[in-house]
Each structure stands twice: as structure tokens, then as C-alpha cells.
Amino acid sequence: MWSVVLTLTLLLERFASALPVSTAVDLFQEIATTAPDHRFPIIVDHPLQPLGMSKSVISTSTIPTNNFYTNLFLGSRQQPAYLYPYSVWWSQGTNSDYGLAISHTTASQRVFGPNPSANPVEYYYNPVGICSVSFSAAEFDAGMTMSLGSPTAFAVNVTMAPSTSKYGHGRSLYIPLVQGTGFITGIYFNLRPRFNSLVGFQSLTEKTSPRNGIKKYVAKLYDGTSWAIYANVPNGQTFSLSRQSSSSIIASKDVYNVIVQIAKIVDGSESAYDAHAGKYAYHARVYGSAVGSVGTATINYWTLQANNAGNLLLWLLPHHVASMKKGALGFSIDSLSRGKMYAFSTNQIVLQEELPTGIQFEPWTSIPGQKATYTSNALKLITSAAASEIAEDFNAQTNLNSMYYAGKALDKFAMICYVAHSILKNAVMTANCLNKLKQSFALFANNKEIYPLYYDKTYKGIVSSAGILTGSSMADFGATYYNDHHFHYGYHIHTAAVIGYIDTALGGTWVKENKEYVNTLIRDVANPSDADPYFPFSRSFSWFHGHSMAKGLFESADGKDEESSSEDYHHAYAVKLWGQVSGDQSMEARGAMMLAVMRRAMNAYMLMNNTNTIQPQNFIGNKVSGILFENKADHTTYFGTDIQYIQGVHMLPITPASSYIRSPTFVGEEWNSLLSGVAPTLTDGWKGILYANLALYNPKSSYAFFSSSKFSRNYLDPGASLTWYLAYAAGVGGATS
């Protein structure tokens, strides 16, 4: 039933979106709807199959791999889905509770450590497993099942059913999990509703009905919190709840098609809950357009039933609120790791941003008054560096057993080629560099690298074969299991954009010849349309959270995470540039819109200046979040705890997009408080990264470092070149002589 509703609505909206809409550019125009070509061998069954999904669901769906509910089909299936501001999980018998457990924790419950008195603290997290209320049924026991259907970017349908051997077929609890909705909704079919609590029910009180056909109860828990329970009861049925024990509330009898909605009561919320009870969301989809330099993306929630308010009650994150013109209800609730969420009466979340249309290939800075200073001495130094680096063996540095490291190296040489062409304007040097780079890139475009890419028919994506051929799920940073795809492919896409930019300027046809390959990588990480049946919509970037999630098919108690904001926005920047050189206006505008949304979200949650009021005040001194999980923020990395690693992984690579995201104020605070005493002591590639980042705040000091006669190439990591660092620092005002 619900899949039919979803399918029909999709068809109607696709038709509507095809109608002419003035001269606006559609941000979400599909790239292609054809299968990836024969260069990608097919994996029929991924080594890790999604649990709880039927063969029909798997074959007909494009299953998201990097979003909020993947814990529900991985491993034990008991880890939380982070349905902001709540967390929910399949309770399989904890304290005799069977069903979908619901938890909400407040800022006062956060755990700070390892020294909670430190400022800044290293990490904070929210306790997990505190079941305040669960959706259950008298028929649920150890034989119950949980299946998943209609998996999309914003929602998944959960169906819980009792043992068929004991109760037969036709009994189920349907729960649409939709990100950001004010109520968690469950619909009972031929079951006797039960609601359990690990915290314990102190009392249950029936309240005045807010609407004909809706019954209202308030359960007060022993921790002092109260939860509203609304039941939308069809005509001809009766429904009542009673407190069976301190851990259980139960309905008087079996019911059919009774819609129950649960929400935690916070200050000022109860009357708004009354007004919004009855209507629920079962799906959401994002639409958008760009008109000139203004982009608008709207997350549209699809609803069923009715309420007094006429809209849904939605919880919005801080970066959403700036674009919302109306609907604020005046109260908030704590989120898990992204500050407070604010209640709105609306069926849409509107994101409107000024697009960074001026940020293209050339060095760019947000420092007021700065401009390129390519003095004769600067050009001499850049030419010398470029001549030396173009002479290097490109293939030896790029033909690697890692898409990530290969991409970094390819991108390094791409920026050297760009400098030779656009800044030095040296035709001989450009031709030499470009020919070598094309040859190295062709190995990947022909899928002849050490670990070729495969097309996976289970999750519908382009994956590294490294995990299959080595038998390790963490080979190439877990790429076979969808970890970090936007980081990896972002470097390759940006390389292609630079090659295409230069080649087109020289009259070549390289873009046309390589378009399908590059577009396929983009379809994997940033597919803009659910009309494409071969890839999920926006695998990496979350249009709800405003940034990407790097973790793929790995069970995690703290949910999805990301540790490199910079490689995230680098992939969006790459999409924007490839759209530009390939003539895809929708892609170019979409990449720009992603950057604009990231700028707002990342500076709220990941990059914390001294005036940040969203993250805890005893955490913002870290300046970067480190690894930002859905349930935790940890000022560390997966590869080490040195300060240059933690800060630097949020810097690399330095490109024209860096200064757009990382403001001079932020970079200055970070440098002066954490890095100015560390950077001079370093002797490896992290030193170059820190000083290149310094150009976003103090380009003259950055340029002085890279132009010094004492500079050592040991200060360059494998993805960096002296050519680009000199050209960038000078290009944003760093050269004075």
C-alpha cells in the first residue's frame, strides 16, 4: 500500500518538475539514466547484503549507504538510527522490550572527556540505549521481525511483525522514519499496541482531545520527562490506554489502522503538538533551482492525514533557520551533536543561498582588498618549481593501489598543469604537463588501475575492487563498502575538470571523450535525481545535515561521521567545475549550491570560531570538530592524534574554494591559538599543509615560507606541489617583491 502511494506521488512530481519554470536552472536535473558502461565489471551481490530487505526491495531500490538508518540493516541491527533529534533502534528483548525504542538526550546528559574539567575538552558524546518509550505490541516477542522498505535519502519504512508461526499473517506495525519530523509515527494493523520504557512510567494521564478522532495521553517518566502519545482512531473503533506496570502501557484490545504519534514534551511544545497531531510524513524529496547567483533548494515532505495546523511540525537545524521566512513555533529541543533544533510549522525546509559563482579555477580569497601579485620574482620561482615538478614521473606517483592516494597525486599534477597554462602561460611546459597527465588519467578512465572499479548491483554504486580482491573490508579506506567515496572521487573529478579546462582552451575534445567516465563517478557520489535507477540520490551529501557523511556500510553506535570537511567541499567544488567545463549548467549550479550550504553548515558544526554558540562552549576551543558523528564530536582523527593531523585534515587540499569555507577570522584564530607554535617545528608534509592554509589568513607569511631558500621538499605531502602553493599564495596577495 505505502509503496504504491510513494510510487504514484513520485510519478506526479516528476511530471510536474518537467514543466517549464521560467529561465531558472533546475538544480536536480538527472545526469543520465543509463547503466554504467562495460568498462565497469558487475558485482551481482555485494559481500555485505542489507539485512531485513526483500530481494524485491533490493532489486528495485537504490539503497543509501551513508545516511541515518543504515544501522537498521547492518550487523546486529540493534544500533541506533539517528532520526534527529531522536535516536531509534530495534529493541530485541532488552528488559523484555520488543519493538522500536525511542530516546532523546539533552545537553545536560552529555559526557565530556577524558578530562571533563578541561577547556577545551577532547570529546563529548550522548549516552545511548536509554529507551524512554518504545513502539511495541502485546504480540511481539523473540520471534518478531523487522523489515525495511522504500529506502530513500530522507526516509525508510519500517515494518515490524509478530511471529507468523504463532500469530499468522496480516499483523504489523508500520513506522515511516523521516528525518526531521516532529513526531515518530506508528500505524498498527491487527495488533494490540503496547509502549514500553526502560526509564519507567511514573504515570499516564488522558488529556482533552485536540481534534475529533484523536485521543491524547501524557506519560510522565521517572526521570522527570513527559512524552505525548496521540492516537488517531478510525470511526467505529474504540481505543484506550492504561498503565500496566512501571515499564509498560498497553491498549485495551487489538486495533486496525490506528495511527499513534509520540513526541517528547519540551517547554512550550504541548499546545503546538496538539495542533499538529494527526498529520504525518512518509517521504521527503529535495527540489531546487538557481536564478542568476541565487540558489534555492527545498526539502519537501509528503504527508498523509490531517491536523488542526494544516502543516507538519518539523525540527530544523541551526543552518536551516536562516532561510526560513515563516513558521517558527518559538521552542527548541537539543540535538545530539549539532546544537539546538527549532520547531517550525511547515511542510518544507527552504535553503536559499547566494552562490559562489565567482569561484572558479584561479586563486581566490575572501580577504578584503587582496589581489594577485605575480611579481617577476614570483613568476621566476613558480617557473622553476613547475619545471622541476613536471619532470617527475607522473605514472609512478599515480598508478597506486588506492583510488584515494592516486587521486591526490593526479590532482597535484593537475594544478601544476593549470599554473603552467593559466599563470605562467608557457605553452611548452603546459603541453608537456598535460600530455603526461592525460596518460596517467587514462589508466583510470579505462579502468585498468591496480584495483579496478566495479559496479555493485546491490547498493547501486561504483566501488573499488580492493575489498573483494584482498578480502579486507578496510582496503583503500573501506571504499568497497562505500567509505569516503566523495573524498576519493572528488580528487579524480577535479583532475578531470582541470584537464578539460586546459584541453578545451587549446581546442581539444578531451571532455567529450571522457565525459561518461567522469559523470559516472559523479553519479556515484552526487547523483542529483531519483529518476536515475542505477545510483541512489546524493549518496554522500546530506541535504538535511548540510554536509556529507563519510562512513559507509559499517555498523556504528554513534552513527555516521566525517573527519575531513575540506575534502568534502573539495568534491562539491570539483562537481561545480566539471559542470562548467562539460557544459552542464545544472551540475555547475548544484555544485555551487552544495558549497553554499556547506559553508553555512560547516561553520556551525565543524569549523568553530570564537563566537560559535552552537557547539558546547568548552569544545569550541578545538577550532575543528575532529570527527563529527551523529551522536558525538571527537577532536581526533582515525590515523593519529597529533594536532597537525586533526587540524590539517580539515584543510587539505588548499584550493580557491578553501577561503570561501574557511574565513580569514577562523583561520587566524586557529593559527594563533593552536598552530603558530607547532608549524615551525614540523619536518614533513603536514608543515606544508599548515603554511598553505595560512595563506587564507596571512598570505604574505605563507608566501614567504614557500619562497624561502630554506624550503625543503620534505614539507610537501604526496598530494601537494610547490608550484601550486607558490602560485596560490602569490595569487591571493602574498608576493611583495
pLDDT of residue 117 exceeding 70: yes
Full residue range of the structural domain in which residue 454 is found: 376-731
Alpha-helical segments (H) within 606-679: 643-648, 658-661, 664-670
Predicted local distance difference test score (pLDDT) of residue 346 = 98
Among 474, 641, 504, 483, CA closest to 551: 483
Q: Hey, what's the torsion of the CAs at 387, 389, 395, 396, to 10 degrees? A: 130
Domain end, chosen from 354, 385, 415, is at: 354
Radius of gyration (C-alpha) of the chain in whole angstroms: 27
Is the domain of 345 the same as that of 398? no
Domain end, chosen from 322, 354, 386, is at: 354
* CB-based contact 122:114 (threshold 8 Å): yes
Per-residue pLDDT of 287-324, as tens digits, reads: 999 999 999 999 999 999 999 999 999 999 999 999 99
Q: Average pLDDT for residues 161-181, to the nearest whole number?
A: 96
Q: Flag whether 54 is in a domain.
A: no
Per-residue pLDDT of 190-223, as tens digits, reads: 999 999 999 999 999 999 999 999 999 999 999 9
Among 486, 485, 519, CA closest to 31: 519
Q: Flag whether 359 is in a domain.
A: no
Which of the residues 476, 530, 563, 669 is marked catalytic? 563
Kindly give the pairing relationship between strand 453-456 and strand 248-251.
unpaired
- Angle, vertex CA 110, rays to CA 106 and CA 114, nearest 5: 175
Q: CA 643, CA 658: separation in Å to the nearest integer? A: 20
Count of other CB atoms within 10 angstroms of residue 709 = 4
* CB-based contact 80:87 (threshold 8 Å): yes
pLDDT of residue 410 exceeding 60: yes
Count of other CB atoms within 10 angstroms of residue 375 = 12
Per-residue pLDDT of 39-55, as tens digits, reads: 999 999 999 999 999 99
Per-residue pLDDT of 68-107, as tens digits, reads: 999 999 999 999 999 999 999 999 998 889 999 999 999 9
Is the domain of 129 the same as that of 197? yes
Predicted local distance difference test score (pLDDT) of residue 252 = 97
Is the domain of 567 the same as that of 622? yes
Q: Flag whether 266 is in a domain.
A: yes
Residues β-bridged to residue 249: 195, 243
Count of other CB atoms within 10 angstroms of residue 80 = 26
C-alpha cell, 182:
516532529
Q: Flag whether 52 is in a domain.
A: no
CATH number for the domain that contains residue 537: 1.50.10
Whether 392 is catalytic is: no
Is the domain of 570 the same as that of 698? yes
Predicted local distance difference test score (pLDDT) of residue 536 = 98
Which of the residues 97, 139, 456, 484 is marked catalytic? 484
Q: Flag whether 570 is in a domain.
A: yes
Q: Average pLDDT for residues 704-719, to the nearest whole number?
A: 98
Count of other CB atoms within 10 angstroms of residue 111 = 13
Q: CA 422, CA 728: separation in Å to the nearest integer? A: 12
N-term to C-term CA, the chain: 72
pLDDT of residue 14 exceeding 70: no
Q: CA 87, CA 284: separation in Å to the nearest integer? A: 19
Residue whose cell numbers read 619545471: 387
What is the percentage of the chain residues whose pLDDT exceeds 70? 97
Residues contacting 388, CB < 8 A, separation 6+: 722
Whether 513 is catalytic is: no
Q: Flag whether 10 is in a domain.
A: yes
Is the domain of 395 the same as that of 496? yes
Is the domain of 505 the same as that of 624? yes
Predicted local distance difference test score (pLDDT) of residue 371 = 84
Q: How many domains, in total, are found in the chain?
A: 2
Q: Is the bond preceding residue 193 a cis peptide, omega within 30 degrees?
A: no
- Local confidence band at 170 (pLDDT 50, 70, 90 cut-offs): very high
- Local confidence band at 438 (pLDDT 50, 70, 90 cut-offs): very high
pLDDT of residue 458 exceeding 80: yes
CATH number for the domain that contains residue 275: 2.70.98.30
Distances (CA, A) of 182 to 208, 281, 333: 20, 10, 10
Is the domain of 300 the same as that of 230? yes
Whether 567 is catalytic is: yes
* CB-based contact 621:633 (threshold 8 Å): no
Q: CA 425, CA 653: separation in Å to the nearest integer? A: 24
Domain end, chosen from 354, 388, 416, is at: 354
pLDDT of residue 11 exceeding 80: no
Among 617, 614, 572, CA closest to 593: 572
Per-residue pLDDT of 248-260, as tens digits, reads: 999 999 999 999 9
Q: CA 520, CA 402: separation in Å to the nearest integer? A: 18
| Residues composing the chain | 737
Q: Flag whether 50 is in a domain.
A: no
* CB-based contact 225:265 (threshold 8 Å): yes
Q: Taking all residues of the chain, what is their mean pLDDT, rounded to a whole number?
A: 96
Distances (CA, A) of 561 to 82, 551, 628: 12, 6, 5
Which of the residues 139, 274, 389, 567 is marked catalytic? 567
Q: CA 348, CA 546: separation in Å to the nearest integer? A: 15
Is the domain of 329 the same as that of 407? no
Phi-psi sector, 659: left (phi>0), alpha (psi -120 to 50), beta: alpha
Q: Average pLDDT for residues 143-163, to the nearest whole number?
A: 98
Per-residue pLDDT of 531-576, as tens digits, reads: 999 999 999 999 999 999 999 999 999 999 999 999 999 999 999 9
Q: Flag whether 455 is in a domain.
A: yes
Residues β-bridged to residue 316: 342
Is the domain of 93 the same as that of 240? yes
Is the domain of 467 the same as that of 560? yes
Is the domain of 342 the same as that of 464? no
Residues β-bridged to residue 220: 203, 226
C-alpha cell, 704:
614567504
Among 496, 359, 522, CA closest to 434: 496
Is the domain of 179 the same as that of 223? yes
- Whether the model clears a pTM of 0.75, i.e. scores above it, the answer is yes
Kindly give the pairing relationship between strand 340-345 and strand 313-316.
antiparallel
Predicted local distance difference test score (pLDDT) of residue 372 = 87
Predicted local distance difference test score (pLDDT) of residue 95 = 85
Evaluate the CA torsion angle 303, 305, 310, 313 in order and state its sign. negative
